Amino acid sequence: MKLFKISQDENTDYDTYDSAVVAAPNGQTARNMNPRDGKEFVGWNEYYSSWCTSADKVTVEYLGEATEGIEQGVICSSFNAG
């Protein structure tokens, strides 16, 4: 499992996520993860009010390898409460 920082700057209002550190097998999986619960978005045609509107608006940065036994999901996230 690898660690990635995912971020977006499309939706910067209150009650939104701007970034998260996630554990995923690859960058594409990380790009499609919801920073709220770690589940993969299915069909980006919907608007997710607390994140961005499409996978191409997510920036993915590889951080390194996760410790053995870490499962896929969100490690921590940054939420801008209003």
Task: Kindly give, in sequence order, each residue whose CB lies less than 8 Å from that of residue 51, ignoring residues fewer than 6 positions away.
Answer: 8, 11, 16, 17, 34, 35, 36
Residue 77 has pLDDT above 80, yes or no: yes
Confidence check: pLDDT of 13 > 80: yes
Q: How far apart are CA 42 and CA 64, in angstroms?
A: 26
Average pLDDT, the chain: 92
The full set of domain ranges for the chain reads 2-80
* Separation between Cα atoms, residue 2 and residue 71, nearest integer Å: 10
Whose tokens are 């990380």? That residue is: 30
> pLDDT tens for residues 35-64?
999 988 877 666 667 899 889 999 999 999
pTM: 0.92
